[in-house]
Amino acid sequence: MRASASARAALRVARSGAARAVVARVAAAQAAPAMARSGIQARSMADKPAAAAAAAPAGPTSIEMTEDGIAIITMNDLSERMNVLNKGMMEAFEGVLNKLESDSSIRAAVLMSGKDDSWVAGADIRMLDACKSAEELATLARTGQKMMDRLAGLKKPVVAAINGFCLGGGAELAMACHYRIVSTGSKTKIGLPEVQLGLLPGSGGTQRLPKLVGIQNAVTMMTTGQQLDAKRAKRNGFADSVADPFALRDAALQAARGLADGSLKRKPKAQPLVPTRLLEGTSIGRNVLFDQAGKMIAKKAGTAYPAPMEILNAVRAGVEGGHAKGQEVEAAAFGKLGMTSVSAALRSIYFAQTAAKKNPFPKPAEPASTVAVLGAGLMGAGIAEVTAHKAAATVLLRDKTLEGLSRGEKQISGNMDKKVSRRRMTKAAADAVTSRVLGFCDGVPGWDRQLPRADVVVEAVFEDLGLKHSVIKELEATGLRPDAILASNTSALPIADLAKASKHPERVIGMHYFSPVDKMPLLEVIPHAGTSDAVVGRAFDLGLKQGKTVIVVKDVPGFYVNRCLGPFMAEAFALMQEGVEAERLDKVMRDFGFPVGPVTLADEVGIDVASHVNSFLTEHLGERMGGSDATVLRDMMDRGMMGRKSGKGFFVYGKGKGKGAKTVNPDAKALLAKYLKKGASVEAAAAMDDATIQDRMAGRFLIEALLCLQDGIIRSPTDGDVGAIFGIGFPPFRGGPFRHIDAVGADNLRNQLRGFAAKYGPQFNPPRILNEYADAKKRFHPSE
C-alpha cells in the first residue's frame, strides 16, 4: 500500500533535517551538567487585594481574596531560600486545592510567588535521595502527577503569574494551570532541566509540554535542559502572554477575571504546516519523527546517559496512548532512572556544585566594582568578558599594543553579538556589557588615573616569570592601591615565585581560568603560603560573581587540573608509541565519556603548549610523567605541525565541518612510526582491547588525583571531582575521579594498577592513600 502524499512529504521533511533539531544539544547538555535550580533575587509585588485575607491552609502558602471572587495564592516557604516542591509545600498545596474545590465564592485563582525573582525552582532533590527503590521513586512521581492532574481538572481557572525561575517541578506546576503569564524580567527562566540530573520530568511534564509547544520543541527542551526567557516562552507556546514584572499581578488578575466570565479564551499556538503539522499531525509523520529522534539520541547520548531516550519514550507513549498511559510510562521511567548510578553521580555533582558556591573564606564587605585585566589575548579578553557580563563590574582592559587591544575588544563584542543573534540577550544588555569595558594601551592616556580605582587586578600576560615580575613592579609603581588584590592567571608558574616581585606579597594570588573563559565553568584559586585569607575570600567572591565554580588549590606546579592532565596526556603519547592509532585512541576515550579525545585535545591546545607542559611537569613529577618519549612533540614543532592553529598537528584541519574537515595527518603518522617502542607495531596494538586503553588512560589521571588529595593540593574528594569534571570534562556520569574510584572499588583499582606497573613501568605504582583506603575498605564518599 502506497503512503499518502502528506506522509511522503513528512518523510522528506524528516530526512531533510527538521527532526534532527530535536536532540541537537543532547551531548552538550550532558557533558557539562548545570544547576537544576539557582538562587536569584527580585522585587515583591505591591497592591494588596481589596478584601482581607480569607482563611488559608497553614504552611508555605496563603490565600487572599479580592472583592469579586479571585483567590490570590502566594507560595512562600520561609524555611527555604527559594520555593521548592518539598513535602511541606505539596501538603500545603493539597490544602489549597481543597479550598478551591469547596469554596463556591471563588471564581478563579492566581498562583504567584512570595519569593524575590523566583516562582518555583523545582522539586526538592533531597526527597529522591530518601527513596531506596525504583518503586518508591515511581510512587513519588505518581503523587506529583495526581496533584498536577487535580489542579488541571479544576472547574475554576487558575492563572500562573510567573516571575523568576520556573524550573523542573515548577514548570510542571505552571503547565497544570489553565493560563500562564510570564514576566519579562531578566531573571525569568522557564525549563525542565531534569535530564541534567539523569532524570526526566516526573509530574506529568513529558505529557503536558508537547501539547503546549509541540513534540519537537518539547523533546528538545527536555533532552537538553534548555531554558527559555519570557519572549521565547511566548513564541513557542508555553506562555499565553507576557508582562512587565511590575504589571504581572494586575495582568494575572485581569486574565483570571476574563477566564472566569468567559470574555477571555486561551488560544493554543498555531503550528506551521511545514514541518510541524506534517510531522506531528499525522501518524506516519509522527512515526518518522520519533524514529529519527531515537536514532539521533542513541548516537549522541549513547548508553552512558539513558534519560534522553526515556524522555522520548514517555512522550511517545502519551502521544500514541493518551495521557494516562504516558504518565504510567513516565512514572516507571522516573523510578528506574532515579536508581541508576548515572543519576546518583549527576545528583552528587549538583550538590557539590551547590556547595562550591558558598565562600568558605572571609567574604568582602562589598563585591569588586572595578577589575583591571592586563593582556587582551584570548584569556585576558575572556576574563574581561565574564567580569563585565556576569559580575557587572567595570573592566579596565589593557594591552601593550592597539592591535592587541582591538582584537580583545572584538572578541568580547563578537560574543555578545552572538548572544543577541541567538536571542539569549537583548541588544541593550549586550551594549551595556561592552560599555563596561574600558580599553587602554601604550600611548593611550588615562591608565595612570584609572588604575587606582581597581579593587582587583588580573594579569594574563605570557607565561614568563621575568615578564610577570616586571608587570607586577610596573603596576605597583603606577598607582595600584596597597589594598588591591593582584591575581595571576598563570596555568603553571608558582604563585610564591610571582609574589617575590611584590611589595605586598600577602595580596598576590593565583586565579587560573580555563579556555575558553566564557564557556569553561571552573576557576582554580591558588593562594601561596603568605596569601591572607581575606584575599582568598575576595578572589573566591569575584569568581562566584563571574559565574564560575570555584575550588581552592595548593600552590604547586600544575595546580590540580593540569597536574592530573599531564600524566593522562603522557599515557596518550605512550599508547601511540605502542602503535595505537590516533583516531582509535580518541574514539575509545570518547566512549569512556570524555567530550574530546586526548589526541584532538593536544591539537586544540597546541603542540607547542603540550610540549612545554610535558617538559615542565616532567621536571617536577619525575617518573609520574614517564612512559613516553616527548621528543616527538618537538619534532612535530620543527616541521610546523603545531596543531589546529597551524592547520595540522596529529590531524589535518580543513574548512567547514563534517567528514573531511579533520583527517589523520600522514606526516605525523609517519613521524610516530619512528618513535614506536621496541617490538611495537600498529598491527599488534590493534589486538589491544578498548577497555585496557581506557583503564590505562584513566589510571594515570586517577593516580595523580589521589596524590593531590594525599598531599593536600585539593581540600577534599568533592573538590577533586568538581575540578576534574568542570575543568577538563571528566565523564560527568562517572561522578568525578573519586566517585569513579568508589564505584570501581579501591582494592580493585589497586590490583589493576599493580598489574600495569609490572607490565608498563613505575608510573602506575598505586599511591599510599589508595593502599590505605583499599586495606580499610573505605570509600572517598562514604555517605553515598
Is residue 701 situated within a structural domain?
yes
- Do residue 426 and residue 313 come from a single domain? no
Indicate if the pLDDT at residue 5 is higher than 90: no
Specify the range with the lowest mean pLDDT, choosing from 23-27, 328-332, 752-756.
23-27
Instruction: Give the end of a domain, one of 525, 552, 579.
Output: 552
Indicate if the pLDDT at residue 360 is higher than 80: yes
Is residue 279 situated within a structural domain?
yes
Percentage with pLDDT > 90 across the chain? 81
Mean pLDDT, residues 66-74 taken together: 94
Amino acid at 279: L
| CA–CA separation, 555 and 496 (whole Å) | 7
User: Given pLDDT bands bounded at 50, 70 and 90, which one contains residue 80?
Assistant: confident
| CA–CA separation, 192 and 494 (whole Å) | 43
DSSP string, 536-563: HHHHHHHHHHTT-EEEEB-SSTTTTHHH
Mean pLDDT, residues 696-701 taken together: 98
> What is each CA distance from 130 to 133, 134, 198, in whole angstroms?
9, 12, 17
CA dihedral of residues 612, 615, 621, 624 (deg, nearest 10) = 100
If DSSP states are collapsed to H, E and C, what string results for 103-116?
Answer: CCCCCEEEEEECCC
Question: Which is nearest to 168 in space by CA: 83, 231, 242?
Answer: 83
| CA–CA separation, 452 and 247 (whole Å) | 43
| CA–CA separation, 193 and 182 (whole Å) | 18
- Do residue 609 and residue 543 come from a single domain? no
Residues 6+ apart with CB under 8 A from 120: 75, 82, 83, 84, 85, 113, 165, 166, 167, 169, 170, 173, 174
* Other residues' Cβ atoms within 10 Å of the Cβ of residue 53: 13
Indicate if the pLDDT at residue 113 is higher than 90: yes
For residue 493, give the C-alpha cell.
608558574
Q: Which pLDDT score is estimated for 107?
A: 97
Indicate if the pLDDT at residue 614 is higher than 80: yes
Is residue 667 situated within a structural domain?
no
* Per-residue burial over 13-47, b = 16 or more CB atoms within 10 Å of its CB, e = otherwise: bbeeebbeebbebbbebbbbbbbbbbebebeebee
Q: Do 572 and 598 form a contact (C-beta atoms < 8 A)?
A: yes
Question: Which is nearest to 594 in space by CA: 700, 729, 472, 489?
Answer: 729
- Can you say whether the dihedral through the CA atoms of 441, 444, 449, 453 is positive or negative? negative
| pTM of the shown model | 0.86
Q: Which pLDDT score is estimated for 4?
A: 38
| CA–CA separation, 638 and 641 (whole Å) | 7
- Do residue 508 and residue 409 come from a single domain? yes
Indicate if the pLDDT at residue 6 is higher than 80: no
| CA–CA separation, 59 and 469 (whole Å) | 60
Question: Which is nearest to 614 in space by CA: 581, 672, 570?
Answer: 570
Mean pLDDT, residues 84-113 taken together: 94
Intra-chain end-to-end CA distance of the chain, in Å? 57
- Do residue 477 and residue 606 come from a single domain? no
Q: Which pLDDT score is estimated for 279?
A: 84
Mean pLDDT, residues 709-713 taken together: 98
Is residue 25 situated within a structural domain?
no
- Do residue 434 and residue 537 come from a single domain? yes
215 or 356: whose pLDDT is higher?
Answer: 215
Q: For 183, list phi and psi in degrees, rounded to 5.
A: -70, 145
Is residue 399 situated within a structural domain?
yes
Burial (Cβ within 10 Å: 0-12, 13-18, ≥19) of residue 166: buried
- Do residue 71 and residue 131 come from a single domain? yes
> What is each CA distance from 592 to 598, 696, 730, in whole angstroms?
12, 12, 9
Mean pLDDT, residues 82-110 taken together: 93
The secondary element (H helix, E strand) that includes residue 396 is: strand 394-399
User: Given pLDDT bands bounded at 50, 70 and 90, which one contains residue 13?
Assistant: very low
| CA–CA separation, 245 and 182 (whole Å) | 9
* Other residues' Cβ atoms within 10 Å of the Cβ of residue 697: 24
Q: Which pLDDT score is estimated for 659?
A: 64
Indicate if the pLDDT at residue 10 is higher than 80: no
Place of cell 466570565: 261
Q: Which pLDDT score is estimated for 784?
A: 67
DSSP string, 505-542: GGGEEEEEE-SSTTT--EEEEEE-TT--HHHHHHHHHH
Instruction: Give the end of a domain, one of 485, 519, 552.
Output: 552
Q: Which pLDDT score is estimated for 45?
A: 29
Is residue 731 situated within a structural domain?
yes
- Do residue 266 and residue 403 come from a single domain? no
- Do residue 157 and residue 296 come from a single domain? yes
**6-10, 14-18, 304-308, 478-482 — most confident range:** 304-308
| CA–CA separation, 125 and 123 (whole Å) | 6
Give the active site residues: 524
Residue pLDDT, tens place only, 415-436 = 999 999 988 888 999 999 999 9
CA dihedral of residues 95, 97, 98, 103 (deg, nearest 10) = 120
Is residue 364 situated within a structural domain?
no
Mean pLDDT for the chain overall: 90
Question: Which is nearest to 540 in space by CA: 550, 529, 532?
Answer: 550
Q: Residue 401 belongs to a domain with what CATH number?
A: 3.40.50.720
- Do residue 374 and residue 475 come from a single domain? yes
Q: Which pLDDT score is estimated for 277?
A: 75
Indicate if the pLDDT at residue 271 is higher than 80: no
- Do residue 230 and residue 268 come from a single domain? yes
Number of domains in the chain: 3
Q: Which residues pair with 257 in a beta bridge?
A: none
Burial (Cβ within 10 Å: 0-12, 13-18, ≥19) of residue 79: exposed
Residue pLDDT, tens place only, 642-675 = 999 999 999 999 887 666 689 999 999 999 999 9
- Do residue 415 and residue 517 come from a single domain? yes
Q: Residue 594 belongs to a domain with what CATH number?
A: 1.10.1040.50
Q: Residue 268 belongs to a domain with what CATH number?
A: 3.90.226.10
Instruction: Give the end of a domain, one of 318, 338, 358.
Output: 338
Cis peptide before 516 (omega within 30 of 0): yes
- What's the domain range around 590? 561-640+676-776
Q: Which pLDDT score is estimated for 568?
A: 98
Q: Is 399 helix (H, G, I), strand (E, B) or coil?
A: strand
Is residue 210 situated within a structural domain?
yes
- Do residue 175 and residue 152 come from a single domain? yes
Q: Do 78 and 39 form a contact (C-beta atoms < 8 A)?
A: no
Mean pLDDT, residues 37-50 taken together: 31
Mean pLDDT, residues 134-156 taken together: 97
For residue 764, give the C-alpha cell.
602506575
Indicate if the pLDDT at residue 47 is higher than 50: no
